[in-house]
Chain A
Amino acid sequence: MSSLEIKDLRKRFGNVEVLKNINLAADSGEFIALVGPSGCGKSTLLAMIAGLESVSSGEIRIDGRVVNDAAPKNRDIAMVFQSYALYPTMTVRENMSFGMESRRVPKAEQATTIARVAEMLQIEPLLNRKPSQLSGGQRQRVAMGRALVRDPKLFLFDEPLSNLDAKLRIEMRAEIKRLHDTVGKTTVYVTHDQVEAMTLASRIAVMFGGVLQQYDTPREIYRNPVNRFVAGFMGSPTMNFLDATVGEGGLVLDGGAVVPLLPDQFPRLSTGRKVVWGVRPEHFSPAAERRAERRGGVSVPIKAQVDMLEPTGAETILFTRISGQKALISVDADDAPEAGAPTQMAVDMGKTCLFDPETDLRL
């Protein structure tokens, strides 16, 4: 049974529909990431699951029970806020016990629960401090601790890591993953960071403009994006989109270069059709390497004019023009060519995709 089920959910603020017909379900113990750019409706969706926003139409079920009109406290959820929302006048211990007090949990049980969770999060030395005396990472732990003492059916995270610096963010990301493995509770995690979504989630819901674009495993979302938005949003650096026309010998890129298509890759395309060719930066490699072949794929050669290099350490990002169109290519730092010269690259053809320029849907 799924522990969270959302059916035909809509949300309107006045005349503006911010969520359009959302359908998704999470199995028990699953980690769902809601990801999308600001304003896509992901936080509104989370607030509706929490009961902090009303439902315009549709249905939210937690553990099979419709909770549309249930108060937040009656939904058996716990939430971690972006701002942490720790009660500033209470100590860490009081912050953690507040919810249990509200639910009239016996004192002795409160104490053992807090001790257990504090040990799990390694925040025992902080229990008697006020939130203002804690660092960002410590506040983050306490906020999670406050959620964990509840033992709810559903954990909700609202961009919990976005206020941390880069290094701490990666640490806490691993921490959240570890905690989820330990606790095994169904989790809904809102983020605008696709890396967080990819690393943490068992399934990712990509949202844009109030519409759920795709809901699938990280691997599928990365390999088989349903449309140009998902393809561009997931993955870093972002996927290259090159305008092209289907010709006799393959794709004719605007600018003249011809890319041979694999036999049977896109059988239904009629000659002369305009398409957008999507290639991820990491699916280019130096021509000599024949990387795709080594993995059983097929690579096709393509010429790129390298304008600028951006070394990031392990890999180097090439700012190039392919057939006159801008494209990013990511290569191993040792393989980076000189800037200002044309270079021969190979594209792992099986991993590229085509989009309809009108509908942005994947072909």
Chain B
Amino acid sequence: MAETTHADFDALSTGSLRRRITAKAIVYALLTVFALFYLMPIVIILANTLRPLDDIVRTGFIAWPADPSLSHWAEAWSTFCIGGTCEGVSRYFKNSLAMAIPATIISTMLGLINGYILSKWRFRGADLLFGLITLGVFLPPQMTLLPWAWVLGNVGLSNTISGLILVHVVQGVSFTTLFCRNYFLAIPDDLIKAARIDGAGFWRIFRRIVLPLSPPIVIVAVIWQFTGIWNEFLFGTIFTSGDKQPITAAIVAFSGSGTGERHYNVEAAAVIMAALPPLFIYLVGGKYFVRGLTSGAVK
């Protein structure tokens, strides 16, 4: 067998040697500059978590830690005072997890089922219903604040994490339904027909045929939902208060407390903690996220 290689087209490897070297140098230099630019904020914040407060106050935000210490991380996690309670962000971090994980799972599952019905068990008015569900994608969340306040008050979920879960599930179903329905359109109808003739029903087809084909879109929905819900703070600040708040709302409270001096180093550590879970999800699933959003092929 002849050896076949499928080299990607490399635009930089054309032309004379000299030209190639110059081209590569320019490309790498530009990319490095942009990478540094985008990494700068996180580097500065990370550096600040390690510096004592008086050093920050004296020399400003941008400086290397002369005497690095991890104590601010511990303080931020467990003893820092936010809005009167001095328990650090740990409680709020757990609140956020208790909110984001169930909300992500439930909204993704509902989206899968909605998408399955709207693409494979079409009925009269299915397109209209789909349009109405996905209208939620385009509605600014601010518009829903008042209705939600009324609903949460009436079902007795004001100032509870369950209330936030409910809000995020309903708000998120628009997105997950959109993702899943469009993804499932690419699954050939013949598969469903074959399964029906094989004696499988609605749920069996879903479980055995459709779900096994779904990992790419499940990853997309999970990443989208988890980061969206974790980072959201509007509902969190408005519908919860005190120790029921998610971490984003608690961090907003830093700037709102107003009394006394600002603990920049501790606050920096808290902010990084708040940013870690979505970052982690991106690092683990980002590859699949891009792939899932761009490819609809089921092969």
Contact = CB atoms under 8 A, between A and B. Distances in A.
Contacts of B195: 87, 98
B21 to A, nearest CB: 43
A72 B191 CA distance: 14
Interface in A140-168: 146, 150
Contacts of A73: 196-200
Contacts of A99: 197-199
Given A102-B204, A132-B299, A85 B193 contact: yes
Contacts of B199: 73, 99, 102-103
A98 B190 contact: no
A4 interface: no
Of the listed residues B191, B193, B195, B213, the one surrounded by the most CB atoms of chain A closer than 10 A to its CB is B193
Interface string A68-106: 000111000111011101011110000000110011000
Contacts of B191: 85, 87-88
B129 interface: no
Interface in A32-68: 50-52
A89 B196 contact: no
Nearest to A103: B199
B196 A72 contact: yes
Contacts of B190: 81-83, 85
A71 B201 CA distance: 10
Nearest to B209: A87
A254 to B, nearest CB: 49
B197 A89 contact: no
Contacts of B209: 87, 89
Contacts, number: 62
A85 B191 CA distance: 5
Contacts of B197: 50-52, 72-73, 77-79, 99
B194 interface: yes
B208 to A, nearest CB: 7
Nearest to B188: A83
Contacts of A87: 191, 194-195, 208-209
Given A99-B199, A103-B199, A89 B194 contact: no
A88 B297 CA distance: 12
Interface string B196-233: 11111000100011001100000000000000000000
Given A81-B190, A99-B198, A132-B299, 15 more contacts: A50-B193, A72-B196, A73-B196, A73-B198, A73-B200, A79-B194, A79-B197, A88-B191, A88-B213, A90-B208, A90-B212, A98-B195, A99-B197, A99-B199, A102-B200
Interface of B: 188, 190-191, 193-200, 204, 208-209, 212-213, 298-299
Interface of A: 50-52, 71-73, 77-79, 81-83, 85, 87-90, 98-99, 102-103, 132, 146, 150
23 contacts: A50-B193, A50-B197, A51-B196, A51-B197, A52-B193, A52-B196, A71-B196, A73-B196, A79-B193, A79-B194, A81-B190, A85-B193, A87-B195, A88-B298, A89-B209, A90-B212, A98-B195, A99-B198, A99-B199, A102-B198, A102-B200, A132-B299, A150-B198
